Each structure stands twice: as C-alpha cells, then as structure tokens.
Amino acid sequence: MTSNITNLDGKRAGRYVGTAQRRIDGRLKVTGGAKYAGEFPTPGLTYGYVVSSEITHGKITRIDASAAEAVPGVIKVFTYKNRPKIASDDKKYQDQTAPPGSPMRPLGDEKIAYAGQPIALVVAETFELARHAATLVHIEYETKPHKTDLEAERSSSYEPKEKRSGIAPPPPPRGDADAAFAKAPVKFENEYRVAVEHHNPMEPHATTVVWHDDGKMTVYDKTQGVQNSQNYVTGIFGLKKDDVRVISPFVGGAFGSGLRPQYQLFLAVMAAMELKRSVRVVLTRDQMFTFTHRPDTIQTLGIGADKDGKLQAIRHDAVAETSTFEDYQEVVVNWSGLLYDCANTKLTYEIAKMNVYTPGDMRAPGATLGVYALEAAMDELAYATGVDPVELRLKNYAEKDQNEDKPFSSKELRACYRQGAERFGWSKRSAEPRSMREGRELIGWGMATGVWEAMMQETSARATLTAGGKLEVAAATADIGTGTYTIMAQIAADELGIPIDDVTVKIGDSSLPKAPVEGGSWAAASTGTAVKAACHKVREKLFNHARKVEGSPLANFGIDRVVFENGRISVSGDPSRFVTLADAMAATGEREISAEETTAPDPETKKKYSGYTHSAIFAEVRVDEELGVIRVTRIVDAVAAGKILNLKTARSQILGGVVFGIGMALHEESLMDKKLGRFMNHNIAEYHIPANADVHDIDVIFVDEQDDKASPIGVKGLGEIGIVGTAAAIANAIFHATGRRIRHLPITIDKVMGAGEDKTPAQAAE
Amino acid sequence: MNRFSYARPTDVAEAVREVGSDPSARFIAGGTNLIDLMKYNVERPTRLVDITRLPLTTIDKADGGGLRIGALVPNSDLAYDDQVQARYPLLSDAILAGASPQLRNMASTGGNLLQRTRCLYFYDTATPCNKREPGSGCSAIEGVNRIHAILGTSSKCIATHPSDMCVGLAALNAKVHVAGPSGERVIAMADFHRLPGDQPERDTNLGPQELIVAVELPDEDFSKNYSYLKLRDRLSYAFALVSVAAALKIDGGKIAEARMALGGVAHKPWRDTTAEDMLRGKPAEEASFKPVADHILRDARGFGHNDFKIDLARRAIVRALSQAAAGTPQTQTDKRIK
C-alpha cells in the first residue's frame, strides 16, 4: 500500500539525521570484510572468460573452438552457434533504464556491430585456464566499413522518434530565438566538445552465479539494481522470480555503468544453466571499455544578449552518437532553457548511429555536457560585456522553470553564489585575463553554475523491531559507495529514538521490498522516505501498545504528543512520564513488530512544482603556459540540495563529483582509432583519471535550503550535482589565467600550448 | 596465460644456463611489466627463470670510484640510497618521477632497463603491431599516436621507451654490465637501447642469453646543477610525454660540461652529444639553451596527434637546463614547475 506521506515531518529534529555520521559499513570496507560480486566463494566454481570481437563491423564467418576445448580443464566454449535458446522478444532484454531499440544479445548471432562485442565465453575449472583457452578460439571475420567518427556522421543525425522513458525531450521553442539572436547587440556562437569517457569504477563488472541442486540460482552481480538484474535474467531465460535471487551488498563504484545489466550477467547465468554448475564471469579492465560510456556529443551554443549582459536569445543544438541498435537519449540542451531567464530559446537534440556500443548514463548524464557548454558560453558573455561572471548570472536569474512554466519547489542558488564567492574570495579577483601571476604561473579564477533534477521514485521499505529493541530496515536498493546504508540507519534510528548501533540495514537483495535502480540522485529521497514511512508505521503500532501497558502514562496522549528518544516513548515536554520500547514490545506479546510501506512522489505536487538541486562552483588554476601544465589548486562548491541527511557522506559525494569534474576538464578521454574503430587506451594507465597530485583543496558548502515538496523528507539528492558545472568552472579559470578559450575537453598540455587549438569558429566574444 | 616452466637459480652462471638457447625464455625479477604482458598474451614465454635469488642486490663502490648498482636493487632502494642521493641526485629524481611507490618497491634496476613500450597497439593483440608481431604493420603511424616518438622513428615503428630511470642513466653516462654464456661484457648506456629501424621487435642490444648484472655510474659530479623535468597528462603516475634529464658543470658562469637526455620522444633515451658540445663554454643562461634545443629537435617529425611534442620538447629542454643552471632542480614531490 501507499502510505499517507504528508505526516512524515521532514523537519522533526533527530539525533542522527543532519549530522556527520561515519559510514556504518566503513569498517567492513577497510578491513576487506565487504564482499563484492566477483569475490563470493562457492564450492565447485567454474570461471568464464569472455572473447571480444576484434573487428568493429561485419560478421563472423568461422569460429573454431576445438583447440580451446581440447585444453584439459576447459569445460565448454559458448558461441552464437551452440548457445541455448534465449528469448526472441526485444522487450525481454529491455531493463528499467533501457533506451528504445533492440538491445544487444550476447552471442545473439554472427553479426558484429561494434569493437569488443562479446562473441564467445570460455568456461574452465580455473580463471587462468579460461583466459588461456580464450586465446585459442579461432575466429574468422568478414569486415564491413564502420562508422566511428561522429563528425562524419553528424549529417545523418535525426531526432529520435521513440523517446526514452524518463528523459524529457527538448522543450518547444520559446519566443523567436533566431530573430532575437540576429538583433542582439552582443552575440556569438561556438562549438563545444567533450571527449568520450568510460565510467571505469574501480571494481570491474562481475557476476558469480551459485547453482543450487534444485535448479535455482543465487546471483551475485555488480549492479545498481538487483531487481532490475533479476527481471532481465528471468525474462530472457524464461525463469520464475523464485528461481533467481540477485544479491549485491556492495558495489565498488558504478557511476551509471551498473544501471543496465551488463553482458557478464547474461553470460554467467546462461553458462550456469547449461552446465548446471556455478559460474563466475569477471570482465577485464580492457573489457570495461566495451560497453556503456558517455556519448560523444557535438554541441553548438549561441547566445545573444544586450550590452549589459541580459540574455535575449539562447540557441543550443546537440548531436550525440548512439549505437546502430538502440536510440540512447539523455537531457543535454534543456538546461539552457531552464537555468537563466531568457524569453527566446531554441533547443534541439539529435542522435546519429555509429558502430559503438550504446552509450549510457554516466554521472549527471546529459547535464555534465550541456551545462558545461552553457556555463562556458556564459563566461564568454561575461567577458564580451564586461560584467562580472557572478553578477551576470544574478542578472539573468531564473525565478521559475520557464521550460515547464512552473515555480521551483525551492531554489537557494543566490545563496550558493553569495556564500561560494565569499568563501573563495571572489571579490579580490582581477577581471582582466592574464592579470594574475605568481612566478612562472598564471593564476586564473573561474566559476560556473551546476544544476540537476531532484527526483524521487516509488520505493518500498520494511522495518522490523524485535523484542530486544533492535531494528532492521530493508529495501532492494543499492549503496554504490554513496552512503545509502548509513542514511537509512540514521533515518530509522531517529524515527524510533534508538541508538544507530541498534539498527541493521539490509539492501542489495532482490528478495527485499521493491526498489528501483539506484541512480539519478534519487535514492536518498526515495529510499529515505520509504524507510521513514515504514519506521513511522512501526512507531504507530508500538505507541498503541505503549498506551495499553498497565498504568501507562501515555494512555491519554495522541502520538503527536509524545517523543521517541533514548529507547523510550515519553510525553512531549515531560520526560519523566515514559514507557520504554522494551516494555511496549513486551505488551505486544510478539517477538517483533514489522511494517512494509511504499512511498511515491505526490502527483499533484509534481505537477505544480519543478524540483532542482543547484550549485555554484569556484575554481582556481595555476598554469605554466609555456609547458602547458595546469594545476587546479582550489575549488569551492556551494550546494543547495534541500535537507542534508549526513554531512560527512554528503561532503564525500560532492568531493567525488568535483574530482570527476577535474578529470572531465583535464584528463579523461577515450581515444578512438577511427581507422580501426576501436577505443585504444583501454586501460587505466593510459585512460587518465585524476591522481592525488591533481587534487588540492576542495571546500564544500551546503547552503541552507528548506524544501517540503521535492520529497517528503526534504531531500533532493547529491550523487550528480558535484560534477555538473565543475569542468566549466575550471575551463573558465583557464581562460582567465591564459586568455585562451579551449572548447574541447579535456584541456591537455597540447591545447594549452596552442598546438592542438580547436579550430571551431570563435566569433565576437574575444 | 600460456603454460611455462619455471626455474629459480642462485648464481649468475646457473641463471644464464637455465635460460638456455630458448628464444622465448625470459628472466623475471620484479615482474611489474612482464606479468602484465603475459596476461595480455603479448609475451608468451615458455620458460621463466626467476633471478630474485641471485646475489645482485647491493650498491657498492665501483673500481674507478663510481658506483656499481646490482641489477636486483629495487627502484625505491636505489632512489633513496644515501650515496645516490648525494652523488647522483639526478638519477634519484628520475626514478621518483616514474610509477608509484608500490611499483618502485617491486621493480628492479635491471628490469627497468628492459621495460617495454606503452604503445597502445603493442598491448592490443587485435591490432597490427610490428614490435609485437613483426611484419604485421604499424597501426600507430596513422592511428592514435599522441604518446609516440618524434625522433629516430622508422616506417616500421614509432614507439617510445617508457622509462624515466633510463633517461637519468643515459645523461649520467652509465654503463650496463651483462653476463652471458661467454662471460661478462660492458655496454655503454647509449648503446644499450636501439632505434626501431627494420627490427622494432628488438628493444635492446642485449644478446638472447645475456643477463644484466649491474649498472655502473662513473665517478663524476653532477650533484649541483641538474634537473629532471617530466611533462605528462596528469601530475603524477603517467608516462612522460616529454622528459628531460639535464646536468651541467659550471665554471665562472660558463658551462664546462653539459649532459642531456630526453624521454618520451624516441625508442630509446635520446642523447645528442653534438648538442652537449654546443653548450661547452657558453654562459649558463637561457639564451644559450634555445639554439641547443632547436638543434636537438632538428630532425624531429610528428605523426599528427604528437606534433605538439616537438615544441614541448624544445621548451622542456630550455626549462630543464635553466633549472639546472640555477641550481633549482625540479622537485618530484611538489608538482609545481619552477
């Protein structure tokens, strides 16, 4: 049932919520006690090793696994020729987050649509044997010309007919952007590019399938949604829910790569069912470059403004890659109609088919790209008009969501600008580019705005209080390093007034109450609300029993007149009149009180209000221009995200997002060999993410923001907001330092030196 | 990983015997590169001769006053050795500019010399690569070649040697002591690594059965005016796009002797003694360095993505020499470049 969520007072003071709490799973993680998908031991385990396509487009003409199968210890080599029958309906392969199209079927047929496509699985008694035998699988191909250059394919881009569920297409044009642009006294239009990025969580994708004698399976999968994996597997292999239990207690990072079930899950389950044995498939780091990634996207952004910087027109067009078999979509351009007050906007989004695997959601999908372009363009406008970058944003501050013509549920972005600027010392900035220097280094200060949607999804949770006073809360959500375990415990402990150590949290198990994939920054608001509702139900039940305890001092009070604190229910304002939880439990005569609740966003509120998280990011860079070396020496990120449940894990989320943004600005780039159609730097020695030396001071401010509409518990979510805008702030700081506007990320040594300066048309502004 | 046999000898002669005449047998010490390459199926040794029990673990005074470094001395021990830090700080800095503490703890002195290229195609068995598979072609020449060579390339291969330590050793005129079936011989560092030419599969001039037993540093003092400057795609833990080891002897403001080697630009640490000769007698100041940088890069050629390295190398040479001249070597801990 869906509980009445209006009575969940998000502002009620608690002992834990809103404070800095260490991770309840921290000890397990640092001692190695936390087990990951590829680590669960089981007797008789076999090991699968994936053979990846060496060509980019074409078909397999011959596949000979006899040499591999002849190796002692090799059990079987699966290919498209001998695989078991699998579902024929595309719908069965479409998980919760799938875009429209026909999902890739591992070992589906002889056709190859992209480099690295899985084409065989070698199963052996040891991992080393499987890996060795994989090199002996002889494959012959017929190759066809491939499309792997977005620049070449942009002429064949199209507006996707079928829209991806949950992804808003660009809003209709507002006013007349072309006419307003033509008339604007200050205007420019530029192209922005961001390199293809791969998620590269530290833990590779892995699945361990434990085969039980009764034909059932326990599947340990690296995923952001255990029930999503369960549905995928049962649909494809014609199984009942009861046959497959998916477990994923810990996830070693995912950043969106664990939203869709990845091919190792399919292959491990298929092999286990065929062999009737337990099977583990772990992808190699190279293979982590053979699936989802942030799509290559070409953006063109034009801004027209009056001489004081008041926006007159924004035109923002994006063309993004997708695979030949699915129409992946994300929200790239809509932000340009949302973030600033502008009467004339025209926003378009198209995709082009290429021989790549379907791109996917990667931390702040779409916003990371679109807001980078918008915020870089706003910086250009600041210089073109001589208006301070912060001032320019305040001048164009959006008081309502113009895309949907709705008020915001809350928006403390002004406070973000003010507090961030103050902490950073922005007022001491000398506006002129190249005007700040220390020794050989040019110093640059730049800023940008960040924004992400505050979302909530229907989620269930169960709370169970035992006679001993211990509480268990459970939901089939995930903790991908974000702190879900801890915030669930905090909310539960506060709701029942018990110590956090008395709360056990169970997540990452498909047999637990229903929850969506953990993504989009919605888990805290969604699971948090469901946990609170379930605990509230337990609280009500317990209170009813407490009133019935013989001589109960609570007999004449309603639940709104008592407090749950320190293991007692006492009269509000009179702590001497109480019933202990233990006594109340004893009065029930039961071993436990349990409640399961489902909560969902209120449709009326959703219809009336737009919910967004905002931030203002300030960056300092130091640039040795001659050698092209950039150091990001200071970041201040002021975030307005509604209620902050845990100051410590919340700060960690923002730190992680900012470091991700530093990587996007300066380092991350999957290099495509356009002749071969392969990503070539498929390892983390050559695919660079920031190292310790690249990360200096990061100062996180949480701006006070009251919101009773985005979610019943006032939470907006923090998973993405740390990255959005960060790369723009850094790129803007590099311009301020050097006077060089680089519109193609990452900004590497060669670009700072000028040798590889992008050849996009730069008009007016400079 | 292919099956292989394994031996663990305890003296050098036995090790040389154990490796025998099998061209696919390999010595293994720290294994920081070889094991990776075996997992990638790039190296497929039939036999591994584990040399970690050989008595090659000490740093001793060499005949003639230099330093003799056993081939099994770990990179970190070498970098932090008191004598090395006092007499050959350039070598210490070059080592500390590379890899990570964990890797430097495992990696041996001899093994560092034998690191194989980080060319993206060399590691990817699905692509043609003359170094990995002679005659299959070079994918990098028209491919992703941002990290590739600009000097001494051939039509067969444009890979670079990845070591930082070797760049320091080249500048310091080190010698490599090797043992083989017919006894010991000494190879000058400059002659140890090869240019790709028609045989890019050969990285060095080491004979098939030869084992590096020591590296010798000559008795020379470059401990005042030196610098190791490494430029890369992030501030730590990345291979060099360009690195420069520079060492000067300065007498009355004039350069008495200059040494220079470049990393990240060629199939071997790039040393150009004609450039060093040009510096002799010149004032130790920036104006003297620019023509020398141009001279070193006179035959440089880019392949597209790596064109920027030519200019970057020029600027890095000038900067490293300036740092050396000023007696303010590039620090390897604070990444700020002065």
Give per-residue pLDDT as tens, B58-112: 999 999 999 999 999 999 999 999 999 999 999 999 999 999 999 999 999 999 9
Could you tell me the two tokens for B218? 């000559």
Could you tell me the two tokens for A501? 């150590």
Position A6 pLDDT exceeds 70: no
Determine the pLDDT at residue A13: 58
Q: Indicate the CATH number for domain B5-52.
A: 3.30.43.10
Residue labelled with tokens 């640490």: B269
The arithmetic mean of pLDDT across residues A195-205, rounded, is 97
Measure A115 CA to nearest chain B CA, in Å. Answer: 10
User: CB B234 to CB A753 under 8 A?
Assistant: no
Three-state DSSP at A75 gives strand
The arithmetic mean of pLDDT across residues A555-579, rounded, is 93
Measure A663 CA to nearest chain B CA, in Å. Answer: 9
A86 DSSP assignment: -
**B308 chain-A contacts, CB cut-off 8 A:** 749-750, 753, 755-756
Model confidence over B109-129: pLDDT tens digits? 999 999 999 999 999 999 999
Position A654 pLDDT exceeds 50: yes
- For domain B225-326, which CATH number applies: 3.20.20.120, 3.20.20.140, 3.30.390.50, 3.30.420.40? 3.30.390.50
Predicted ipTM beyond 0.90: yes
Position A756 pLDDT exceeds 60: no
* Amino acid identity at A441: E
Measure B99 CA to nearest chain A CA, in Å. Answer: 10
Q: Is residue A11 part of a domain?
A: yes
User: CB B338 to CB A440 under 8 A?
Assistant: yes
Measure B184 CA to nearest chain A CA, in Å. Answer: 36
User: CB A627 to CB B146 under 8 A?
Assistant: no
- Helix residue ranges per DSSP H, A453-522: 484-496
Q: Is residue A527 part of a domain?
A: yes
Position A408 pLDDT exceeds 60: yes
User: CB B144 to CB A671 under 8 A?
Assistant: yes
Restricting to A residues 64-123, those with a Cβ less than 8 Å away from any Cβ of B are: 115
Position A766 pLDDT exceeds 50: no
User: CB B236 to CB A692 under 8 A?
Assistant: yes
Assess B241–A contact: CB distance below 8 Å, yes or no: yes
User: CB B231 to CB A131 under 8 A?
Assistant: no
A·B CB contacts under 8 A: 107
In terms of residue numbers, what domain contains A540?
5-34+457-600
Burial zone of A39 (CB within 10 Å; 0-12 exposed, 13-18 middle, 19+ buried) = middle
Which of B139, B237, B308 has its CB closest to that of A676?
B139
Position A365 pLDDT exceeds 70: yes
Q: Is residue A17 part of a domain?
A: yes
User: CB B139 to CB A673 under 8 A?
Assistant: yes
Residue labelled with tokens 């006073």: A469
**Closest chain A CA to residue B126:** A54
Determine the pLDDT at residue A3: 38
Q: In which band, very low, low, confident or very high, does the pLDDT at A763 lie, cut at 50, 70 and 90?
A: very low
Cα distances (Å, whole numbers) of residue A410 to A341, A600, A643, A716, B11: 16, 19, 11, 10, 75
Q: Is residue A490 part of a domain?
A: yes
Q: In which band, very low, low, confident or very high, does the pLDDT at A14 lie, cut at 50, 70 and 90?
A: confident
Q: Percent of chain B beyond pLDDT 70?
A: 100
Model confidence over A223-278: pLDDT tens digits? 999 999 999 999 999 999 999 999 999 999 999 999 999 999 999 999 999 999 99
| Mean per-residue pLDDT over chain A, rounded | 95
Q: Please, are residues B88 and B228 in contact by the beta-carbon 8 Å criterion?
A: no
Position A765 pLDDT exceeds 60: no
Q: In which band, very low, low, confident or very high, does the pLDDT at A587 lie, cut at 50, 70 and 90?
A: confident
Three-state DSSP at A77 gives strand
Assess B231–A contact: CB distance below 8 Å, yes or no: yes
**A442 chain-B contacts, CB cut-off 8 A:** none
Q: Where are the domains of chain B?
A: 5-52, 225-326
Cα distances (Å, whole numbers) of residue B305 to A163, A708, B146, B151: 38, 53, 4, 15
Model confidence over B179-209: pLDDT tens digits? 999 999 999 999 999 999 999 999 999 998 9
Position A417 pLDDT exceeds 80: yes
Position A98 pLDDT exceeds 60: yes
Restricting to B residues 243-272, those with a Cβ less than 8 Å away from any Cβ of A are: none
Measure A673 CA to nearest chain B CA, in Å. Answer: 6
Restricting to B residues 43-82, those with a Cβ less than 8 Å away from any Cβ of A are: none
* Amino acid identity at B250: I
**B235 chain-A contacts, CB cut-off 8 A:** 629, 631, 691, 693-694
CA distance B277 to B282: 10
Position A760 pLDDT exceeds 80: no
**Closest chain A CA to residue B305:** A756
The arithmetic mean of pLDDT across residues A365-385, rounded, is 98
Residue of B146, B227, B319 to mutate, interface with A, max A Cβ within 10 Å: B146
Determine the pLDDT at residue A468: 87
Which of B1, B41, B235 has its CB closest to that of A631?
B235
User: CB B336 to CB A622 under 8 A?
Assistant: yes
Determine the pLDDT at residue A719: 96
Residue of B1, B42, B120 to mutate, interface with A, max A Cβ within 10 Å: B120
- Helix residue ranges per DSSP H, B97-194: 101-106, 109-113, 120-123, 165-171, 189-192
Determine the pLDDT at residue B2: 81
**B319 chain-A contacts, CB cut-off 8 A:** 626-627
Measure B288 CA to nearest chain A CA, in Å. Answer: 18
**Closest chain B CA to residue A439:** B338
Determine the pLDDT at residue B334: 83
Q: Please, are residues A623 and A630 in contact by the beta-carbon 8 Å criterion?
A: yes
Per the structure, the count of domains in chain A is 1
A11-15, A410-414, A558-562: which range is least confident on average? Answer: A11-15
| Mean per-residue pLDDT over chain B, rounded | 97
Measure A462 CA to nearest chain B CA, in Å. Answer: 45
- As a whole number of Å, the CA-based R_g of chain B is 19
Assess B334–A contact: CB distance below 8 Å, yes or no: no
Q: In which band, very low, low, confident or very high, does the pLDDT at B1 lie, cut at 50, 70 and 90?
A: low
Model confidence over A492-550: pLDDT tens digits? 999 999 999 999 999 999 999 999 999 999 999 999 999 999 999 999 999 999 999 98
Residues 6+ apart with CB under 8 A from A556: none
Angle at A442 between CA A441 and CA A447, to 5 degrees: 130
Residue of A676, A682, A689, A758 to mutate, interface with B, max B Cβ within 10 Å: A676
CA distance A607 to A592: 39
A756 DSSP assignment: T
Determine the pLDDT at residue A759: 37
Q: Percent of chain A beyond pLDDT 90?
A: 95
- Helix residue ranges per DSSP H, A282-354: 335-338
Q: Please, are residues A659 and A651 in contact by the beta-carbon 8 Å criterion?
A: no
CATH number for position A573: 3.30.365.10
Could you tell me the two tokens for A448? 């940008």
User: CB A626 to CB B315 under 8 A?
Assistant: yes
Q: In which band, very low, low, confident or very high, does the pLDDT at A337 lie, cut at 50, 70 and 90?
A: very high
**Closest chain A CA to residue B310:** A755
Cα distances (Å, whole numbers) of residue B123 to A148, A286, A399, B127, B129: 21, 10, 54, 9, 9
Three-state DSSP at A127 gives helix
- Helix residue ranges per DSSP H, chain B: 12-19, 34-39, 75-80, 82-87, 89-96, 101-106, 109-113, 120-123, 165-171, 189-192, 273-279, 286-296, 308-326
Assess B148–A contact: CB distance below 8 Å, yes or no: no
Could you tell me the two tokens for A9? 């007072």
Q: Which of the residues of A are catalytic?
A: 720
Model confidence over A598-631: pLDDT tens digits? 999 999 999 999 999 999 999 999 999 999 999 9
**A672 chain-B contacts, CB cut-off 8 A:** 144
Model confidence over B296-307: pLDDT tens digits? 999 999 999 999
Determine the pLDDT at residue A757: 44
Q: In which band, very low, low, confident or very high, does the pLDDT at B338 lie, cut at 50, 70 and 90?
A: confident
The arithmetic mean of pLDDT across residues A457-464, rounded, is 98
Position B9 pLDDT exceeds 80: yes
Which of A54, A680, A691 has its CB closest to that of B234?
A691
Measure A758 CA to nearest chain B CA, in Å. Answer: 13
**B315 chain-A contacts, CB cut-off 8 A:** 626-627, 753
Which of B1, B121, B143 has its CB closest to that of A132?
B1
Assess B24–A contact: CB distance below 8 Å, yes or no: no
The arithmetic mean of pLDDT across residues A206-210, rounded, is 98
Assess B133–A contact: CB distance below 8 Å, yes or no: no
CA distance B85 to B200: 35
**Closest chain B CA to residue A128:** B1
Which of B126, B235, B311 has its CB closest to that of A694?
B235
